[in-house]
Structure 1
């Protein structure tokens, strides 16, 4: 009879997973390109005036889910400083905050999109956040797949199902009805909505991450589900009433503008966005459905939300929601 083998491990060798505070909802009040800011303050005021009633509805809906009706909702705004930098923080941010205030909205946290690609790490090192998420992708095998498709780490593309064959593979396929097969969605209900998502272009140091992939990182950050060797990432830096710098790289990736704000990370997210982001956010859901995260990190959000009576879905993508108001 075999005897059980005892395994001993020093407590100090166990990786520690940092805990983060959670709001119930992280409400994104917008994500604009630099070109949008070039349209001036009228464009900004129209944006926030349109977003205001939807933001109120999200807050009211969150309160309705809680027995005590006391919802923790933090607001955030993402600025695209990754794909273009047509203005500077000191010129762009004050009019943005004024336009939000004119609509009766407060931006608690301001984030830079470039921080979702590379952010400051510990000991003045760089944290390649997008690349770390890339290494966490585990592609869902499509029905009938034969393993021929190269991994996402090589191709830079990820899909939600089986792609259509690119070419005939033998003369036997020339017979009627066998020369082409349609793509198919892995979790299709009746009919497929197939999507193939490009994660980056270029290679090496010239690699440019796609908007869809950076938006996926942004969602994971807001959900408090990313760690760097157990440490929390993109922890907000208090900014208070300091003047904004003249260079984007001098502004932390995430700043807390409201000292009384609820926590930046949240059990769930809601984003109020222009309709042009619909395809991007569909792609985000495809990516989030194939990200492998540490069990300890997932358990933090699940167990704490359950204790508050605000249970979140096990599927990460289902913790995100969107509003695409007309006219935004």
Structure 2
């Protein structure tokens, strides 16, 4: 089985090569993302292995079909970058890693909250410069605050449990609520109530047409004045222009993001010696109450190990003609 591996980084190659010892697949590694110009690299392969910013629209999927590709394996949970209708039409199976160390993402969301609240990132820079002043480093106690969790899958509930351990009151919202999750201090509410009542709102839902720009001018207006918003899920959940307006008006008190709706071409790359032409992220970076990390919430040893194992297991199941719960269908 020959697999064309797109958008690879050194850590991908390390973990997939290590795990592949038990599988014996043949990988062709390409640093470039999969798009209209690079799809030809998949010729003579049986499958493609892709990540969050690789493009799999109808045109590219049709090209993959013409090369004889029968399988698309996503080494991530999200699949909003795949035209599932086209994949089904051309008989290409799509398989993903639905849950890789949910603890990793949940813990990163908590790290963002604590860093932004207690201004650890600013204090670190000050102390290294010999500035030991506490001026403008005031935070707030997380204990006793109301935390709204939007999306109650594995990651969302892991995050909720951690925040409950801080002594927070937890509000949940999900289109498909699981009442079994409700315990003392944890309950489901409508999204409008969650936004109006929460001191901290954390997004843990997938990006779909329905959730695209879930946080927009209207939903930002519902927030408590000075609330914190955290997004470790998908960048497209937040309308960036609306977020900037909410920050400028002081409606939004804090914004922490590990994802960004226009992150393609930015995240996972070292652009320190170049001029960033994206005016929106440049504006966000200028706010003292904004903290951005570059899609690293998943990035733990445990998660990388699981991503490689599940991805290669998905390929093995396909080769052996086995059905899989990890297959994404319409």
Q: Is the TM value for this pair above 0.5?
A: no
**TM-score between the two structures when normalised by the length of structure 1:** 0.28
- Flag the structure with larger Rg: 1
RCO higher in 1 or 2 (8 Å CA, sep ≥ 6)?
A: 1
